[in-house]
Amino acid sequence: MSALSKTMSKFGLAVVQLHVSSVKADNLSRAKRLIGEAAAHGSKLVVLPECFNSPYGTGFFREYAENIPGESTRMLSDAAKENGVYLVGGSIPEEDGGKLYNTCPVFGPDGTLLMKHRKIHLFDIDVPGKIRFQESETLSPGSAFSVFETPFCKVGVGICYDIRFAELAQLYSKMGCQLLVYPGAFNMTTGPAHWELLQRARALDNQLYVATASPARDQTASYVAWGHSTVVNPWGAVISSTGSEEAVVYADIDLQYLADVRQQIPVTVQRRDDLYAVTPVTDPGGLYAVSPVTDPGGLYAVSPVTDPEACTR
C-alpha cells in the first residue's frame, strides 16, 4: 500500500509569520506564544520562518549562532511537546565543527528532534542597483535531503533559496512527499517578483502542497523581508496567505484532494522514465546533477543514472 493511500485524511497546518527583532529572548518568547496559539486553533503541524531567532544577515549569523541542542532548540522541543504538534523550527544559525549553517530543526509532538535540514543552496545573488547578498561569505551549505514522516503525510524540507531549484522538489516528490515546507525570507526585490510564483510552480509541477513561512516585514531592519507567508495546493492555487505583518496562516492539508488532482491529471505516472529521470547522485560529494543518460534510448537525466532500475516513478 502506498504512503498516499495510507494517509487519506485532512489535517490542520499553521504557518507563523513572526516579527523578528535583535533580541533573541523576545524572538523565542513570541515564537512560543504563537506556536501555542496555532495548536489551540487545532493545527497539527506548525512552521516557523527562516532565522526566526535572529536578524537575517551575514553580520548576524556568527553572533547568534548556536549548537544543537542549544537555547533555541530547547525552546522548540518544549513547545512541540507542550502543544503536541509537529514543529518545523524555521531556521537558526547553527555552529558545528567550526562551520556555520542555516539550519531548520524539526521536532515531533513528544519533543524529539526528528531531523535537521541544513540549507543546501546558499543565497548568493547580485541584482545591480537593488540587492547583493552572499550567504557563502559566512555560511557553509548542507549536503543532505531532509524528509520526515507524520501520521498524516510525508514532508520535505527546504530553506528559502532551496525553492528555486526544481530538482530538489522533484526528488522530494519521488520520495513520496505530499507537502513541502520552505521557511524563507525573500526580500523587497525578489519577493514581489518570484515568491508566490515559485511556490505555485513547485506545487503544480509535483502536484503537492507547498507552505512558505516568512518573517514579518520590518522596514527598520538591515534586510527587509517580503512577508506574505503562503500555502499553495496541488492545483497550484493559493489557499491561504497573509500580508506583511505578524500573523498566523492556517490551512487544511487535504490528502484526498491531492489524490483527486493526481488522478485527474496523472502526470506522476505519465513521466517518460525511459527518456529522463530525476534521481539523487550516489557520489557523496554531490546531491544531484544534470547529465546525459548513457542509455542510447534516452535523452537526459537530472543526475547520473547508472542503473536503469534507478529510474522510478
Residues with a catalytic annotation lie at: 50, 119, 160
Contact (CB, 8 A) for 54 and 60: yes
Return the closest-CA partner of residue 141 out of 287, 302, 281.
287
**Pair 172, 165: CB distance under 8 Å:** no
- The three state secondary structure string of 163-195 is HHCHHHHHHHHHCCCCEEEEECCCECCHHHHHH
Q: What is the residue type of 294?
A: T
Q: What is the dihedral of CA 280, 282, 288, 289, to 10 degrees?
A: -130
Residue 74 CB burial class (10 angstroms; 0-12, 13-18, ≥19): middle
Residues 6+ apart with CB under 8 A from 31: 16, 18, 48, 52, 53, 75, 79, 90
Cβ–Cβ < 8 Å for 289, 283? no
126 contacts 84 by C-beta, under 8 angstroms: no
Q: Tell the burial category of 57 from Cβ atoms under 10 Å away from its Cβ (0-12, 13-18, 19+).
A: middle
Which three cell numbers mark 194? 518570484
